Chains A and B, each alone.
Chain A
Amino acid sequence: MKNLINFLIQYSVVFLFLFLEVISFTMIVKNQEYQRSVFMSSSNSMVSGMYEWSNSVVEFFKLRAANDNLSEENTALKNQIIKLQNKLQTLTPEVDDSIHFRIPPEMEYEFISAKVINSSTNKIQNYITLNKGSIDGIKVDMGVISDEGVVGIVKTVNDKFSVVVPVLNNKIEINCKFKRNNYSGPLKWEGEDYRYANLNDIARHVELSLGDTLITSGFTSTFPEGIPVGYVEDFKIKESDAYYNIKVKLAVNFRTLSHVKVINYLNYKEQKELEKSSEEQQ
């Protein structure tokens, strides 16, 4: 008995060491659940409060670039308004009732603008923290875009902050298609360079050319159709392969990302419920 106690005392440090390592390892393995327990991730209010403070300093230096972007977008939008107005005028009433004019249901969405207060690009699993949360209407699974293109998908939300899984994370795939010919496939990031991702699911018979634009396919209710994802930078195919190995230059520069829009798809619930109920009927 005395020996046993001596033994335990002698090796207590080793036991403590093993105990702490097991705790840490369990956390890593259960990462998913821990992400959801918002307290421990960077949407934790103390942590994000500090990030917000540090971001307000850094942002000052990015103001000029952000301004340039905004004014560019502004002019593009104005042009669009003019075009649409012209179109509308040519279409206006031959028949005077409102039934003929209806927005298609899959196009009914609105944007919630938010600011990036923390992000990384050099890990294999990167995350982005936004300064808007459930108070502002953000929910899990909403899509996030910037003026340039697709950013990622909301993963956790608390009252004031939310964490986004960006394209630069090997845990998600974004379903996209070629603007030119509608062939679609999942885009995946391999963890090497924040500027490029890979698309490996395009069959051999498809014709490709450098610079082809990839846009969101609209098959998921997260992103509407037609938001730019990236451009074909390079593609390879071996004699024996059935699929291309395509290197895609991402539309968004994740290093300079500061303002984003979260997509609130208004008919999300209706669509999901209908799809679910028709599955159950079978």
Chain B
Amino acid sequence: MPVVLQNIFRFILLVLFQVLVLSNIQFLGYINPYIYILFILALPVHTPRWFSLILAFGIGLTIDMFSNTMGMHAFATVMVAFLRNGAIKLFTAIEEGNNPTPSFHTFGVSAYVKYVVLMVLVHHTTLFILEAFSLAHFWLMFAKILLSTFVTILIILGIESLNKK
């Protein structure tokens, strides 16, 4: 049960942090990091896939409600949840019996960094393309994707490295 509680807690904290703090910080006008995605990244490895898809839809829609962007975050987050298992299989070798929570400790530093980078990149790319909904401002979008991805990854890795265990 503590794992469930832990995840509920993480959900609430990340949504609050995202909506009340990060969405108000606008470095340089290009960068808006979306940290809430950490919730999906940190679900236990063998969470049933259908369940993680539904959770992703839920957290995406919650963020959407706060930022007036119906569907965009939901779409991008569901995408991440779908690709998550593939990425975990690609970068790590978890034994059948175990069900660890992804972190530096359980994945190893390099595998975890790869996993976070790939997932955040997928999420931000989907999100910003949906936001622009055209390729009219391609370079602007490109800059936004790269810078925001970079900052999100930094913050997520920062949070995780504080998680000593």
Contact = CB atoms under 8 A, between A and B. Distances in A.
B13 interface: no
A17 interface: yes
Nearest to A128: B68
Interface in A180-215: 190-194
Interface residues of A, number: 39
Question: Which 7 A/B pairs are nearest by Cβ-Cβ distance?
Answer: A27-B71, A24-B75, A28-B71, A24-B74, A24-B71, A34-B70, A27-B70
Contacts of B64: 27, 40
14 contacts: A20-B78, A24-B72, A24-B78, A28-B72, A28-B130, A31-B71, A40-B70, A47-B66, A120-B26, A121-B29, A122-B30, A123-B32, A123-B69, A124-B137
Given A40-B64, A125-B69, A192-B140, 5 more contacts: A16-B54, A26-B71, A28-B133, A50-B20, A58-B24
A255 B69 CA distance: 20
A245 interface: no
B82 A17 contact: yes
A21 B68 contact: no
A163 interface: yes
A64 to B, nearest CB: 19
B75 A21 contact: yes
Interface string B55-88: 0110010001111111110110011001000000
B53 interface: yes
A13 B137 CA distance: 35
A111 interface: no
Given A13-B50, A13-B53, A28 B29 contact: no
B29 A122 contact: yes
A23 B75 CA distance: 8
A27 B140 CA distance: 25
Contacts of A127: 68
Q: Which bracket fits the contact residues of B? A: 35 or more
A42 interface: yes
Contact of A35 (B23, B67, B70): B70
Given A31-B71, A127-B68, A122 B50 contact: no
Interface in A19-67: 20-21, 23-28, 30-31, 34-35, 40-42, 44, 47, 50-51, 54, 58
B132 interface: yes
Contacts of A12: 50
B137 A192 contact: yes
A35 B29 CA distance: 25
Contacts of A51: 66
A125 B67 CA distance: 10
Among the interface residues A26, A27, A163, which one has the most CB atoms of the partner chain B within 10 A?
A27
A228 to B, nearest CB: 23
Interface of B: 19-20, 23-24, 26, 29-32, 49-50, 53-54, 56-57, 60, 64-72, 74-75, 78-79, 82, 130-133, 137, 140
Contacts of A193: 29
A16 B52 CA distance: 11
Nearest to A127: B68
A77 B134 CA distance: 46
Contact of A121 (B26, B49, B50): B26
B81 to A, nearest CB: 8
Contacts of B133: 28
A40 B50 contact: no
Contacts of B29: 121-122, 193-194
B65 A40 contact: yes
Nearest to A29: B71
A191 B140 contact: yes
Nearest to B20: A54
Nearest to A53: B20
Contact of B74 (A13, A27, A191): A27
A58 B70 CA distance: 26
Nearest to B73: A24
A54 B74 CA distance: 24
